Structure 1
Amino acid sequence: MANIVPISVETHAGKKIQPLTSYAFAKKINSAPVVASEIAIASRHFPLAFIEQNGEVGLFALFGLLNQQNLFVDANGRWLADYVPAILRRYPFIFAKARDREDYILCVDEDSGLISEKKGAPLFEDNGEASETLKKALAFVTEYQRAANSSMAFSAEVKRLSLLQPLNIELKISEDKKQKIEGLQRIDEKRLNALSEEDFLALRTKGFLPLIYAHLFSLNALGDLGRRLGKPAPKVSKSSHKKDELSLPDTFKF
Structure 2
Amino acid sequence: MAELLFYTKPEILNRENHKDLNFLAVTDLSFSRDVNSVPVLGIEFFEASRDMPILFSRDESGAYFPIALLSLRNEGHDQLNDSGQWKGNYTPAFIRRYPFALTDDKNICFDQDYAGFNVDDGEPLFDEEGANTKTLDNIIEFVTNFDVEHQRSREFCDALTEQELLTPFRLQIMTADKQPLRMDGLFVIDEKKLESLTDDVVSDWFKEGFIAWAYAHLHSLGALRQLGEQLDTR
- Asked whether the two chains share a fold, i.e. TM above 0.5, the reply is yes
Query: How far did 1:43 drift?
Result: 1.0
Letter in 2 for 1:110: Q
Q: What is residue 235 of structure 1 aligned with on the other side? A: none
Residues 29 and 85 of structure 2 are in contact (CA less than 8 Å); yes or no, is this contact kept in structure 1?
Answer: yes
Q: What is residue 197 of structure 1 aligned with on the other side? A: 199
Q: Which runs of 5+ in 1 are unaligned?
A: 98-102, 233-254
Q: What is residue 160 of structure 1 aligned with on the other side? A: 162
Residues 175 and 232 of structure 2 are in contact (CA less than 8 Å); yes or no, is this contact kept in structure 1?
Answer: no
Q: What is residue 51 of structure 2 aligned with on the other side? A: 45
2:88 is the alignment partner of 1:86: no
> Partners in 1 of 2:43 and 2:177 — Cα distance?
41
How many residues were matched structurally? 227
Query: How far did 1:219 drift?
Result: 0.1
> Partners in 2 of 1:139 and 1:37 — Cα distance?
16
Q: Which runs of 5+ in 2 are unaligned?
A: 1-6
Write the deviation string for residues 67-98 of structure 1: whole angstroms up to 9, x where unpaired.
Answer: 3212201232111111111111111111111x
Query: How far did 1:158 drift?
Result: 0.6
2:79 is the alignment partner of 1:72: yes
Letter in 2 for 1:56: A
Q: What is residue 28 of structure 1 aligned with on the other side? A: 34
Letter in 1 for 2:207: T
| Identity of matched residues, % | 30
> Partners in 2 of 1:194 and 1:129 — Cα distance?
54
> Partners in 2 of 1:154 and 1:211 — Cα distance?
9
Query: How far did 1:194 drift?
Result: 2.4
Residues 168 and 188 of structure 2 are in contact (CA less than 8 Å); yes or no, is this contact kept in structure 1?
Answer: yes
SS in 1 for 2:175: strand
Q: TM-score, normalised by structure 2?
A: 0.92
Decide which moves more: 45-54 or 170-179: 170-179
Decide which moves more: 129-138 or 165-174: 165-174
Residues 170 and 182 of structure 2 are in contact (CA less than 8 Å); yes or no, is this contact kept in structure 1?
Answer: yes
> Within 5 Å, which residues of 2 pair with 1:104-115?
104-115=106-117
Residues 176 and 232 of structure 2 are in contact (CA less than 8 Å); yes or no, is this contact kept in structure 1?
Answer: no
Q: What is residue 17 of structure 1 aligned with on the other side? A: 23
> Partners in 2 of 1:128 and 1:77 — Cα distance?
34
Query: How far did 1:110 drift?
Result: 0.8
Q: What is residue 8 of structure 1 aligned with on the other side? A: 14
Decide which moves more: 183-192 or 165-174: 165-174
Q: What is residue 60 of structure 1 aligned with on the other side? A: 67
> Partners in 1 of 2:80 and 2:177 — Cα distance?
27
Q: What is residue 226 of structure 1 aligned with on the other side? A: 228
Letter in 1 for 2:46: A
Write the deviation string for residues 47-71 of structure 1: whole angstroms up to 9, x where unpaired.
Answer: 0001111221111111112232122
Q: TM-score, normalised by structure 1?
A: 0.85
Q: Flag the 1:41–1:9 CA change in 2: closer, same or farther, 3 A.
A: same
Query: How far did 1:106 drift?
Result: 0.4
